[in-house]
Amino acid sequence: MDLDGRTLLVAASLTSILLAMLVLHVRRWLGKSIHGLGWWAAAVILLTGSTLLLADLDRFKAINDTHGHGVGDRALKAFADVASAQIRDGDLFARHGGEELVVLLPGTGHQEARAIAERIRAATEAAIIDGPEGKPIRLSVSIGAASALPGSRAAVHLDPLLRDADRAMYRAKESGRNRVVGPS
């Protein structure tokens, strides 16, 4: 069956719409099975595989306790701004409670995911926020990554990926913080 330009344009438009809907739904329902998002979301991630990053701002409790919640809030905002600037269109980004951010990278293999995670880590390390009396506060982040191959059951369930990324993130912290561990 030959596809003409018009058919390809319609298919590309439909794919863009479905991916935009996927972004909105995953942000809303992150932490639940991709199945709950609908057949099209499951199909996109099942066919392309995915990598999940779990990024935790290092020593956030100490920032809050030492400098106050206002400075802690600025640290979180700077962290979120820096991280969101490093991801691609179509990557899914959300706060995962406390000082953790989660990034779902559909269709992303180990090397590319690690490069994205390293960009987030380096940009966070370069970020400086103003503390009390204008004293600079440097930030750092530990990132765990976990991948699911295209077609695997793990590609459509976030819980196993989140669990594996969480373990990798804790290994990053135990190894000295401010590093990327994974994907596994």
Catalytic-labelled residue, pool 99, 100, 125, 174: 99
Task: Give catalytic status of residue 100 as yes or no.
Answer: no
CA distance 13 to 139: 40
Distance CA(79)–CA(129), nearest Å, equals 10
Residue 96 — φ and ψ, nearest 5°? Answer: -120, 40
> DSSP label at 104?
E
Question: How far is CA 153 from each of CA 50, 116, 139, 156, rounded to the nearest angstrom?
Answer: 11, 24, 36, 6
Q: Which residues are annotated as catalytic?
A: 99
